Structure 1
Amino acid sequence: MKADLTSADLTEIRQSALGAADPLGVAAELADAVDAGKLADTEDAGYAFALAAEIAESRGKLDAAQRYADRAVEAFGERDDNQAAGARALRARVLFRLDREDEAMAVLEPLRPLLTTYPDAASYVSAALAAGGRNRVAEQWLSEAVNEALAERGATAEPASAEDAGQLFFLLQQRHRVRHALGLQHDHHDNLADRLETRLANEAARAAGRPGEDLLFWPEAELGKLLAQWPGLAETYGADWDEHRAHLERELVRLAAAGRAGLTVLPATVAGLTGFAGADGDPASPQSRSGYAGRLATGADQIPWPPERNGACWCGSGLKYKKCCLPRSRA
């Protein structure tokens, strides 16, 4: 391992160490580098020890992981930032895996106020609680943090984007994932998380010139199945088939006005979506829907848009386009 390791070097090691022939040797070398003064910036000592702890934990060497995590927390000292919070949560996670639950909770409790401050704190803390089989506690803490963040916003309108939501977005995301792991029904916070994730996924898709999941077209029977299983998706696709077709027509018109050419409608099925998500995935998540749309966009069943005014409407109603979905863009 080279002398004078920088923060960038440590990040590169983090990305490659778990695939190394001797990852535990890498962990030991990181600790030795700190002790030998081989860091370009001594402030990175906590980061190096935390990385060593992660490597040891991944190989089931929990005693070594605990020693490295303890040294990481000690190195960070009174620092109050994302990295320091992550090291403390990592230490709690290792303690849970050593069946030292009371000690783990004592480490995590002081991190609760940071949930509304640091973007990664929600994932750090919830991962530690999950390791201890305490997803219910994670859901409670995250719900309280979401309510606090919403109260701080006051009576403002719903966030228009993930960027506008700020820390609230990260809290909603993590809470949504914890609730999915618990098998809980969607509530209004879950629906808000879905809407913000949908907007973020669509913005990324548009920037890359790919279709977002808002171009998924659910035939009438399929829309009924979709909303029966995931009622919260009415916020994205419409509460009924008329509203769904109007939403899709307006989005297609908007994309055409923005210069997009070669637009197509992507006929979707509930079976196709759940098959794409797989046994461990969440079919209702924006990531699953966007990925499913991407797969459909490479297939042969796309419906070109727009049809001729006097041609059959793209929705399959049997009516002429001018008498069916064309007017919906103006509704």
Structure 2
Amino acid sequence: MPTKADLTSADLTEIRQAALGAADPLGIAADLADAAETGRLADPDDAGHALTLAAEIAESRSKLDAALGYAERAIASYATPDDTKAGAAHALHARLLFRSGRDDEALAELEPLRPLLTEVPDAAAYITAALAAGGRSRVIIAEQWLTEAVKKALAGRATEPSSADDAGLTFFLLQQRHRVRHTLGLPHDANDNLADRLENKLAATTARAAAEPADDLLFWPQAEFDRMLTTWPALAQPYGATWDDHRAHLERELVRLTSAGRTGLTLLPATVTGLTGFAGTDNDPADPKTRAGYANQQATRAGQITWPPERNGACWCGSGNKYKKCCLPRSR
């Protein structure tokens, strides 16, 4: 699966998902490294991402020397050694050092990353994964680091988090610590119980979201979107100030509903004439209830747009571009 010029962040995500099943993953890793170093990335800031991906591919084929080389080049690609975005590359490098029997070097690499545990959402996962490569004694260190990070995160709170959203980054710390302690066979403590409560509340919230009717999935094609904002400027708030904002909002909402268990989702083409006619003379077209009623009406009619399209298929928005190059990346 050869790569091409001007690789985007979306391309790198697609490669991550498909590379390990490709016929020549090591060739893909080499091409990713070449793309990072010869200017074949749409965003030069993705160099570290591309090289880290190359290292992960090489590691998956037990080519540790090659993986270490890619990881070192990934770290060097960041502007400063303490760039928080470089954390995943440093952690991967440490994991490879553990796997190569260079435990002291690996620990020295990870120690400076400890502050990221309370700053970066996925740091708990990649730091723990790196320590786990060093065996049980290093997993014990992971539990100690996570415990200290949880204490620090909770110390500034007046009350216990009441939900995953309320906990924010602390929720990820609690989850990761809970899993590590389970791996070590440690008994539940107060923070494990808190992790369980928050996870149960999150599961209940997700289940409720799956059972609720879909939110307003009206899709305004570009010409209708421009007319709609001219007619009702206040609708910039629910639908977006620009057509790009509108499409991004819809893509994110569709992804959210899918994560909540919803299937068979469709977009409902909307027109100014249609909404005006539905509202009639007695209702305000801009009122949320009126718009919801119009959406329910459109959901019973032909012309709905099936979502999601194939990655290489035409995008649902009608731009004429492939989905993977148009609205798919907007959800991120």
TM-score, normalised via structure 2 length: 0.61
Decide whether the 8 Å contact of 2:75 with 2:81 is kept in 1. no
Decide whether the 8 Å contact of 1:169 with 1:193 is kept in 2. yes
Following superposition, the deviation at residue 167 of structure 1 comes to 1.3
Aligned residue in 2 for 1:36: 38
- Summarize the alignment of residues 95-134 of structure 1 with structure 2, pairs less than 5 Å apart: 95-133=97-135, 134=138
Following superposition, the deviation at residue 116 of structure 1 comes to 0.5
CA distance in structure 1 between the aligned counterparts of 2:207 and 2:14, rounded to whole angstroms:
28
Aligned residue in 1 for 2:19: 17
The share of aligned pairs that are identical, in percent, is: 69
Aligned residue in 1 for 2:142: 138
Kindly provide the amino acid, as one letter, of the partner of residue 144 in structure 1: E
CA distance in structure 2 between the aligned counterparts of 1:77 and 1:96, rounded to whole angstroms:
26
DSSP 3-state at the match of 1:207 = helix
In the alignment, structure 1 residue 148 sits paired with structure 2 residue 142: no
Kindly provide the amino acid, as one letter, of the partner of residue 211 in structure 2: G
Aligned residue in 2 for 1:68: 70
Gaps of 5+ in 1: 211-290, 292-331
- Summarize the alignment of residues 192-271 of structure 1 with structure 2, pairs less than 5 Å apart: 192-209=194-211
Decide whether the 8 Å contact of 1:31 with 1:52 is kept in 2. yes
CA distance in structure 1 between the aligned counterparts of 2:144 and 2:36, rounded to whole angstroms:
38
Aligned residue in 2 for 1:58: 60
Following superposition, the deviation at residue 21 of structure 1 comes to 1.2
C-alpha offsets along residues 145-185 of structure 1, whole Å, 9 cap, x if unaligned?
000111122xx222111110011111100000000100111
C-alpha offsets along residues 291-316 of structure 1, whole Å, 9 cap, x if unaligned?
9xxxxxxxxxxxxxxxxxxxxxxxxx
Decide whether the 8 Å contact of 1:81 with 1:118 is kept in 2. no
Following superposition, the deviation at residue 35 of structure 1 comes to 2.1
Kindly provide the amino acid, as one letter, of the partner of residue 157 in structure 1: T
C-alpha offsets along residues 116-152 of structure 1, whole Å, 9 cap, x if unaligned?
1110011110100001111100000000000011112
Kindly provide the amino acid, as one letter, of the partner of residue 33 in structure 2: A
Q: 1:79 to 1:166 in 2, by over 3 A?
A: farther
CA distance in structure 2 between the aligned counterparts of 1:172 and 1:85, rounded to whole angstroms:
20
CA distance in structure 2 between the aligned counterparts of 1:85 and 1:197, rounded to whole angstroms:
26
Following superposition, the deviation at residue 81 of structure 1 comes to 5.7
In the alignment, structure 1 residue 89 sits paired with structure 2 residue 91: yes
CA distance in structure 2 between the aligned counterparts of 1:118 and 1:81, rounded to whole angstroms:
12
Q: 1:160 to 1:81 in 2, by over 3 A?
A: farther
CA distance in structure 1 between the aligned counterparts of 2:196 and 2:84, rounded to whole angstroms:
25
CA distance in structure 2 between the aligned counterparts of 1:84 and 1:202, rounded to whole angstroms:
35
Following superposition, the deviation at residue 34 of structure 1 comes to 1.6
DSSP 3-state at the match of 2:156 = helix
DSSP 3-state at the match of 1:208 = helix
CA distance in structure 2 between the aligned counterparts of 1:107 and 1:200, rounded to whole angstroms:
34
Gaps of 5+ in 2: 213-260, 262-332
